[in-house]
Structure 1
Amino acid sequence: MHTLLPTSIVGSLPKPSWLAEPETLWSPWKLQGDALVEGTQDALRIAVQEQRQAGIDIISDGEQTRQHFVTTFIEHLSGVDFDQRETVRIRDRYDASVPTVVGAVSREKPVFVEDAKFLRQQTDQPIKWALPGPMTMIDTLYDRHYKSREKLAWEFATILNQEAKELEAAGVDIIQFDEPAFNVFFDDVQDWGVAMLERAAEGLRAQTVVHICYGYGIKANTDWKATLGSEWRQYEKSFPLLQQSSIDIVSLESHHSHVPLELIELIRGKKVMLGAIDVASPTIETPEEVADTLRNALRFVDADKLIPSTNCGLAPLSRDLARGKLRALSAGTALLREELTGVEV
């Protein structure tokens, strides 16, 4: 593996059409029972192969075994009733029908550990596994039991820590917590959000990432982005706190966004997973565009701390488009690597 500028995707890849409806976010499974287990494992194998063929260095599962990046984890916990639905506002952007917390939440058994072991068998490259962050989890539920965002988040953080420790034992090198809610609930981030994240990551030897983006390229998110003005400065609130935290890597959206690059200075000293691929655009980036995005960031992050990545997940795109974007990420990174080392790769 290249030690300089190792590439990675944030998490999701499109699922094969025989497994779920193409170009649809969170679409239902087309298989059931044993066929679904076999189908998701086959899809995971393909996701690994496509990342490797595209030259990606840190391999993910492509989220092939889960329908949704938050609720698939919650479905495996007790204390949450998926039949009792309430409509809540998600991240202050759109209404959704969500399950209800009806009692104490707990994790009866591991959620993703078997999947992670299966991923570990597919490659000898470093592997990364994504979990939902505590704040984003509570934003996807109606709480009838704890009646405190902070108390519920603490319970989830404790559960996530149990899961993360078992993922580490299964051979996962990097554990990522997805916290898009950090771009919305600034007071909560300051009051308890970062503390919950640290609780989730407590005692891990694996590298830890927090991923904070502006969401998939769905209408609710693109409409919201259009209201944010010419500069998106949301990271200004969380980055100084994360810079002081125990989290190793901060993953952010950059390419085609209005995030001022100098905000990266606020996490100086941390590793930066920089989004150099726009997941909301049907255009495949050129290697030069990717290299430009990464090169510009080098004013604020040292090259040995930069991990070129995608802005967010690639799940809603076509498989061809996602493959093209993976190749562009690798090719653009290779250009910059060559510039920095003088060695053609």
Structure 2
Amino acid sequence: MLKTYVTGFPRIGEKRELKFALEAYWAGKSDLNALKEVAKELRARHFSYQKAHGIDVISCNDFSYYDLMLDTITLLGAIPERFVGIEDATTRYFAMARGDESRSAMEMTKWFNTNYHYIVPELHAQTRFSVDTSKIIEEFNEAKALGITPKINLIGPITFLALSKTIDNTDAFVLFDALLEAYASVLKSIELLGEGIIVQFDEPLFAKSLEPKFYTLLKIAYEKLGRVSPNLNIAVVSYFDKANEAVEVLGKCPIWGIGLDFVYGEENLEALLHVNDKVLIAGLIDGRNVWKNNTSKSYALLEKITSVIGEERLILSTSCSLLHVPYSTTFEQKLPLHVKEKLSFALEKLAELQTLQTLWASKEKPTQNVALEKPTIQAHTNHFAKRSPYGIRALIQEKALNLPLFPTTTIGSFPQTKETRTLRLAYKKGEMTQESYENALKELIKECVAFQEKIGLDVLVHGEFERNDMVEYFGELLEGFAFSENGWVQSYGSRCVKPPLLHGNVKRRKPLSVEWSVYAQSLTDKPMKGMLTGPVTILNWSFVRNDIPKSEVAYEVASAIAEEVDELQRHDIKIIQVDEAAFKEGYPLRNEKIKAYEKWAVESFKASVCSAWDQTQIHTHMCYSNFNDIIETIEAMDADVITIETSRSGNKLLKVFQKAHYKAQIGPGVYDIHSPRVPSVEEMSEQIKAFLEVLPKEQLWINPDCGLKTRGWSETKAALANMIQAVKRFR
């Protein structure tokens, strides 16, 4: 019988236990021992669940308190200089992730084309590695105590270096030889744990389009690492797309196995002849989406694979780590049955592996799954007049808005306190009337607007207190979406999101945000910014049905947003932000697939704001991204103002806009909202000074990095007040 293999497992817990334990520890409400106990119990539970589902190859070292890349930095001893003086390892670890009173956090960005964030390693030519495998050994022994000999997950050396940044402008690969020595030390330490242990090296970098030099480095790396210990079984896995070129290299290396994603990289079938004598770990169960596996399709793929590989060298696997999907549908009591019965979360995917294993063993071909009801996709029609070119719009908006130099604003959300969340929950449970709920929200908005006026912000927001999430909120008001109760997915650290389930036709039946924006505008003479989420982000942060093209769904979402934009401006909202925080993460990893994505992504964004008059200023916001390769696409989106997260990367990102002679206005983040620390006026002044080295003053807006939802009020007030004082210096 074919063996089953899980690339990696979620770690946040069935009911977000790790999240709450982390936040209690950070707040000083519990100690480190309490946090460690929760973590140990979660690991034991995760091991046991996989064992109970008959999974043959179970991971350890896929658990993290914050991020696996940060764990790898710690494993290798690649600690940035500013954190070296922190003696306590746990304090140092969280300071690297979140910053502290005197140190800025390490940079964070998206993990390939997912909504998961990783900590970016900071290296320099003189970096010296110092290996510490204590975490690996601890987790391995925990699994052994439960009767499991686990595989050990590691981020591979090529992916680690390629995703690193250097602080001295050297090429990170000058450290390649030293890094391989460090990884060899890790393998020698693992070897002491026993014979035949599988060590999984994650190399998702090779799902991208790469220069030839990376394949040369791949060969060197696994020629060396594959020979460090004959007693270990080295598996190199890649996922999120095809990795054909890498297979040609790895098939000749002295390793045990190669893992490939056949869900998002069916083209990997073309590389099977190059697997040679290696074990093939075939990713056939979707680790990134939540719809039930199409067993007939998986079975057919399995037939094609075995016709080349043979069963004796084949293992069934998830396409990637199950980190990217929620825990289990067991806790979903309120989902419509016709939606719930089509879902498969992490635990259900374990069962799907078992099912495929059993069907194959019995040679019983599966019957076709019951599909989602096929929606009728409406052709997108533009009923609105075409907007004038940016140069014309900018002059009209300048006159209409009369904003000062360096206009200040925020990205949209203000702190979501425990009291705010309790208020929403009480309303959701029917414990308060709609009138009482709306009155309570209006009080929060009133306080928020008063605070913004008091400190002197130029463009205000209403605070988004009515919103649980920037995508879920809109999905709840649109047709075609369903919502889980406990479908949480880790985004970074303790931050979790609960993606909507987009399963049918999308339509706007009533206003989405008009009431709150209009009320907030009534409280001030300053411009009130309407806050919407764009169609690309709604799709990229939802679990979208996988049986029709995303592009078809995108235009439906865009039409709904365009109707909302039109109604907002007709209610005298002169500035409207349509966030595309997830625009970059949706990019295909392979160059040949990019143009198709850019076409529908840009067109759907433009369709969502096509209703805007020339005098209505359209803003958009993008999260941590490398903009070098998409600057022309950003220009094609044709927003009037773009705000971007840059505080952890200085003015490096802005140089891309400078080089491209970007004409529209830009609001680079002047401080990091992912850290609780409050930057000083001097610190923010230095940031603005750095921005002005790249951008003309007339083009520059000043704002925080991102929304303030996750921050506390005291730090928010202090940081924004400092931001305003810094701006006054430059005015």
TM-score interval, normalised by the smaller of the two chains: 0.7 to 0.9
Q: Distance in 2 between matches of 1:97 and 1:295?
A: 38
Other-structure match for 2:702:
308
SS at match of 2:425: coil
1:264 to 632, 657, 663: 657
Code of the residue aligned with 2:655 in structure 1: it is E
Other-structure match for 1:198:
606
Q: 1:251 to 1:146 in 2, by over 3 A?
A: farther
Deviation of 1:300 after TM superposition, in Å, equals 2.8
Q: Distance in 1 between matches of 2:713 and 2:489?
A: 32
Structure 2 alignment gaps of length 5 or more: 1-401, 588-593
1:52-67 matched pairs, under 5 angstroms: 52-67=453-468
2:684 to 278, 286, 290: 290
Q: Distance in 2 between matches of 1:97 and 1:281?
A: 22
Code of the residue aligned with 1:29 in structure 2: it is L
Code of the residue aligned with 1:264 in structure 2: it is F
SS at match of 1:211: strand
Is 1:119 paired with 2:515?
A: no
Q: 1:250 to 1:96 in 2, by over 3 A?
A: closer
Root-mean-square deviation (Å): 2.6
Is 1:20 paired with 2:421?
A: yes
Code of the residue aligned with 1:236 in structure 2: it is N
After TM superposition, the structure 1 stretch with the greater mean CA deviation from structure 2, 251-260 or 61-70, is: 251-260
Code of the residue aligned with 1:253 in structure 2: it is E
Q: Distance in 2 between matches of 1:207 and 1:2?
A: 12
2:638 to 236, 243, 246: 246
SS at match of 1:199: helix
Deviation of 1:175 after TM superposition, in Å, equals 1.0
1:105 to 494, 499, 506: 506
Other-structure match for 1:332:
726
SS at match of 2:649: coil
Structure 1 alignment gaps of length 5 or more: 22-26, 215-232, 338-345
Other-structure match for 1:70:
471
SS at match of 2:606: helix
Name the structure where strand makes up a greater proportion of residues: 1
1:129 to 527, 530, 548: 530
SS at match of 1:116: helix
Deviation of 1:193 after TM superposition, in Å, equals 1.4
Q: Distance in 2 between matches of 1:211 and 1:158?
A: 20
Q: Is the 8 A contact 2:472 2:498 kept in 1?
A: no
Q: Distance in 2 between matches of 1:145 and 1:84?
A: 22
Is 1:184 paired with 2:560?
A: no
Q: Is the 8 A contact 2:531 2:576 kept in 1?
A: yes
SS at match of 2:633: helix
Q: Distance in 2 between matches of 1:143 and 1:185?
A: 12
Q: Is the 8 A contact 2:605 2:637 kept in 1?
A: no
SS at match of 1:273: strand
SS at match of 1:19: helix
SS at match of 1:79: strand
Rg larger in structure: 2
Deviation of 1:336 after TM superposition, in Å, equals 1.3
Code of the residue aligned with 2:505 in structure 1: it is A
Q: 1:202 to 1:181 in 2, by over 3 A?
A: same
Q: Distance in 1 between matches of 2:638 and 2:575?
A: 14
1:151-162 matched pairs, under 5 angstroms: 151-162=552-563
Q: Distance in 2 between matches of 1:83 and 1:252?
A: 30
Q: Distance in 2 between matches of 1:99 and 1:278?
A: 27
Q: Distance in 1 between matches of 2:599 and 2:491?
A: 20
Other-structure match for 2:344:
none
After TM superposition, the structure 1 stretch with the greater mean CA deviation from structure 2, 204-213 or 236-245, is: 236-245
Deviation of 1:293 after TM superposition, in Å, equals 1.2
Deviation of 1:89 after TM superposition, in Å, equals 9.0
Higher relative contact order (CA 8 A, sep 6+): 1
Q: Is the 8 A contact 1:85 1:98 kept in 2?
A: no
Deviations 1:297-328 (A, max 9, x none): 12332211211001001111111111111101
Aligned length: 312
Q: Is the 8 A contact 1:11 1:62 kept in 2?
A: yes
Give the TM-score taking structure 1 as reference length.
0.82
Is 1:274 paired with 2:668?
A: yes
SS at match of 2:457: coil
Code of the residue aligned with 2:580 in structure 1: it is E
Q: Distance in 1 between matches of 2:403 and 2:504?
A: 47
Deviations 1:3-41 (A, max 9, x none): 2111000011113543226xxxxx953444322211111
Other-structure match for 1:340:
none
Code of the residue aligned with 1:262 in structure 2: it is K
Other-structure match for 2:302:
none
